[in-house]
Amino acid sequence: MAGPVPSTDLVADVLAGRTRGIARLITRAEAGGAECRPALAEIYRHTGRAHVVGMTGVPGSGKSTLVRALAQALRANGRTVAVVAIDPSSPFSGGAILGDRIRMNDIAADPGIFIRSMATRGALGGLARATLDAVDLLDAAGFDLVIIETVGVGQDEVDVVQAAHTTAVISAPGLGDDIQAIKAGILEIADIHVVSKCDRADANKTVTDLKQMLMLGLPASLDGQWPAPVIATSAETGEGVGELVTEIDRHRAYLDESGRIGDQRRRIAERRTLKIAEEIIRSRFVARRAGAVAGMLERVCARDLDPHSAALQLLHTLHEDRDDDQNA
């Protein structure tokens, strides 16, 4: 019986935009095995064309419904769209409902739309660990826009700004606070503010409050900075969705014309590289937890060694292990 197709053999399918190859390689990227790394490295060389849009907001703000409406509007303009929808994982079983895929079933049959749900699997910040690998694959496959919909579990999911070129923060009226987006820096990360469910009577107050907060936070001179707009939308009626498309395009043009797209890409590359390095160090730590690290932790608990010194010793040990692996 033939074994599984090597990941490098799937690269041609991805570059040709074949859905099956894209889905299989995303699955392997999620698994995190070393076998797919050469394929993903080759894919990375073919990226840099898609515009990546991050959609974030608190639970109940209507992110998934708005993303569906946005994808439909973009398709009406003749553009192809990929959606990476992040769902929370159970802290006990590690499983996830992946309900965003269900909510978007009515557009999933469109060949110009690709939807993939991913579980966070314990990752913090609103993104799954393989999110940017998936974005690379969809970029290389030729999609015009890649939308990342974050997990929506709280007000601290700011990692999306380190993954997207344009970040839209979605607020909804009547969620308990006058302005949900003020919390934990969410207000500051938005390139575009979206107030969903604008057909509700209390939506105008949320729009007004957001605009007032943004005015208070503006510097004396914008000096070429992007003024984040506030858009009222209703995914049910379609109101404001076309305006959202226009603002996304305007922000992309602003990044290109100002030259700031280069800075944005460097920030994304820097943050991504550091996150991967952290994951590698963490995995090596876990691998050694039952051995030398266990003894070190006993010394910390006994107050014979302080945590900072223990951390430095751990990093030194991991560095020695890496040199031993390379010389073996």
**DSSP letter for each residue of 292-324:** HHHHHHHHHHTTSS-HHHHHHHHHHHHHHHHHH
Which residue among 209, 226, 258 closes a domain? 258
Q: Pinpoint the alpha helices (H) of 141-172.
A: none
Query: Is the Cβ–Cβ distance between 153 and 57 less than 8 Å?
Result: no
In a domain, 263, yes or no: no
Is residue 5 scored above 50 in pLDDT?
yes
How confident is the model at residue 84, as a pLDDT? 93
How confident is the model at residue 130, as a pLDDT? 87
How confident is the model at residue 155, as a pLDDT? 46
Tell me, yes or no, whether 318 and 250 share the same domain: no
Is residue 152 scored above 70 in pLDDT?
no
Task: Please state the rounded mean pLDDT for residues 112-125.
Answer: 74
Rounded distance, CA 287 to CA 308, Å?
20
How confident is the model at residue 303, as a pLDDT? 94
In a domain, 265, yes or no: no
Tell me, yes or no, whether 98 and 119 share the same domain: yes
If you search the block for the tokens 């898609």, which residue do you land on?
Answer: 50
Lowest average pLDDT, out of 16-25, 105-114, 196-205, 214-223, goes to 214-223
* pLDDT digit string, tens, across residues 59-97: 778 888 999 999 999 999 999 999 998 876 444 344 444
How confident is the model at residue 40, as a pLDDT? 96
Query: Is the Cβ–Cβ distance between 192 and 228 less than 8 Å?
Result: yes
If you search the block for the tokens 């966070």, which residue do you land on?
Answer: 120
pTM: 0.85
Sign of the CA dihedral running 101, 102, 104, 106: positive
* Degrees, nearest 5: CA angle 11-142-26: 45
Domain residues for 12? 1-46
Which residue among 216, 233, 258 closes a domain? 258
Tell me, yes or no, whether 107 and 188 share the same domain: yes
Tell me, yes or no, whether 175 and 223 share the same domain: yes
In a domain, 224, yes or no: yes
CATH number of the domain encompassing residue 78:
3.40.50.300
H-helix or E-strand spanning residue 113? strand 113-119
Tell me, yes or no, whether 199 and 315 share the same domain: no
Which residue among 13, 28, 46 closes a domain? 46
Confidence of residue 217 (pLDDT cuts 50, 70, 90): low
In a domain, 68, yes or no: yes
Task: Please state the rounded mean pLDDT for residues 104-131.
Answer: 75
CA 22 remoteness from chain centre? 18
In a domain, 207, yes or no: yes
Number of domains in the chain: 3
Tokens of 153: 């579990």
Task: Please state the rounded mean pLDDT for residues 293-314.
Answer: 88
Confidence of residue 296 (pLDDT cuts 50, 70, 90): confident
Tell me, yes or no, whether 40 and 54 share the same domain: no
Task: Please state the rounded mean pLDDT for residues 272-295.
Answer: 78
Tell me, yes or no, whether 310 and 246 share the same domain: no
In a domain, 205, yes or no: yes
Rounded to whole angstroms, what are the CA distances from 90 to 47, 94, 95, 96, 247? 32, 5, 5, 6, 36
In a domain, 139, yes or no: yes
Tell me, yes or no, whether 56 and 197 share the same domain: yes
Q: Is 107 helix (H, G, I), strand (E, B) or coil?
A: helix
Look over the chain and give the mean of its residue pLDDT values, rounded to a whole number: 83
How many residues comprise the chain?
328
Q: Is 145 helix (H, G, I), strand (E, B) or coil?
A: strand
Tell me, yes or no, whether 41 and 121 share the same domain: no
Rounded distance, CA 220 to CA 205, Å?
25
Tell me, yes or no, whether 146 and 164 share the same domain: yes
Amino acid at 252: R
In a domain, 264, yes or no: no
Give the residue from 67, 73, 76, 50 showing the smallest Cα distance to 103. 67
H-helix or E-strand spanning residue 51? strand 51-57
Tell me, yes or no, whether 138 and 212 share the same domain: yes
At residue 165, φ and ψ (nearest 5 deg) are -80, -35
Tell me, yes or no, whether 91 and 208 share the same domain: yes
Q: What residues form DSSP beta bridges with 55?
A: 149, 168
Give the residue from 145, 151, 149, 105 showing the smallest Cα distance to 124. 151
Rounded distance, CA 196 to CA 233, Å?
5
